[in-house]
Amino acid sequence: MEWTADVSVGDWIREHLEDGRDWSTMHAVVPRGFAAYARILHPASRDRPVGAAWPPVPYGKHVKEWDAFQAAGHEIDTERVTWAATASAFGTTMHALAQWHRIVGPRVVEGEDGPRDAAGWRYSDPMEGSLEPDLVSATASILARHTSTPDDGFVAVWEGWGGIVGAMGYGPSRIFLTIGDESADDDPRHDEFLAHAARDTFNDVFKKPTWQPGILSDEVSRGPRLSLPNRDHVLFRGGVSELADPDWESRVPWQDRELETHGFAQTAHCPSLVWPQDRAWVLVTEVDYDSTIVGGSSELVRALVADQRLEVLPLREGAELAWDADEVNR
């Protein structure tokens, strides 16, 4: 997979989107014109203590209970959970236009703790703008069977992910701090981090921004973007077959190798857009969506829905996925 400066290959997507000021349907980000559409729901997660119950909230009124809970050192079960299983747990209805906050209902205390079901599970929201790596490869393996050009196509990544591209700034785009025997106050990197955390307008009145490199090279960072309504993307040429590899994160150009040198796990952002050279389908993982949308043939949608690794529901063209679109669970 290689960076390409020829962003005109994505013009067809822009031509099939709604006006960028109209976010009423999914076609603000997903092209019209495909025979069928599918919604791949990003999984959520849930956890609960083994042999115990979560202390009550709000935290401020139950400090002693939470302190005792922490001191007890309970084992915590954590698992990935589907939207359908979540709806079943909360007695709500799963359907193609369901919205997460309508499925789980209001939190006990807004902003403090995830919703809890009758069995004691505490739920965390699905990730927005990112399909988990194993699900990217699972999806890609299906997509590869529904194009005549599985080894040739295009992959775009939103430029707004922190540190992915270089930019003008007043300090490094990223600072790596590790926890060791020394306290933060004794670590010179702590002072360096604070020095770059914000611009000191009093002592550095005449300081000018300088170029701060990102994960991608300066050539890519300064290069042209695939510009779509409200989103700009770095574009790469490569086949969906590359993403079907379970180890795709280690091979994409935007892999954060520097992060790994500091002891962090292998990571690379989920692609934002993928389409093959023959334009048989398009995959869109919008930054503000908790689901990934695929437009393609009816056969492709049926294959996605049937795959047990994924939670997929067919969508009609023009479907609304706004936060208030779920009129079933109110």
Q: Going residue by residue through the chain (330 aa), what tens digit of pLDDT does each one get?
A: 999 999 999 999 999 998 766 677 999 999 999 999 999 999 999 999 999 999 998 888 999 999 999 999 999 999 999 999 999 999 999 999 999 999 998 776 766 788 999 999 999 999 999 999 999 999 999 999 999 999 999 999 999 988 888 776 665 655 555 555 555 455 555 555 555 555 555 566 666 777 677 889 889 999 999 999 989 999 999 999 999 999 999 999 998 766 556 555 557 889 999 999 999 999 999 999 999 999 999 999 999 999 999 999 999 999 999 888 899 998
3-class DSSP assignment, residue 156: strand
Cβ distance 77 to 48 under 8 Å? yes
Annotated domain spans of the chain: 2-42+129-166+214-315, 44-124, 168-212
Residue 180: the pLDDT is 53
- The predicted pLDDT at position 37 comes to 98
Side chain identity, residue 321:
L
Compute the half-sphere exposure of residue 146: CA atoms within 13 Å on the CB side of its CA.
22
Taking phi over 0 as left and psi of -120 to 50 as alpha, with beta for the rest, 52 belongs to beta
Q: Is the peptide bond before 58 cis (omega within 30 degrees of 0)?
A: yes
243 CB burial (10 A radius; 0-12, 13-18, 19+): buried
The pLDDT assigned to 206 comes to 63
**41 DSSP β-pair partners:** 291
Asked if 309 contacts 43 with a C-beta cutoff of 8 angstroms, the reply is no
Which pair of tokens denotes residue 52? 């115990």
Q: Looking at residue 198, what is its pLDDT?
A: 54
Q: What is the predicted pLDDT for the residue at 107? A: 72
Q: What is the pLDDT of residue 50?
A: 96
Q: How far lies 136's CA from each of 75, 105, 153, 260, 285, in Å?
A: 30, 29, 16, 21, 10
Residue 86 is predicted with a pLDDT of 97
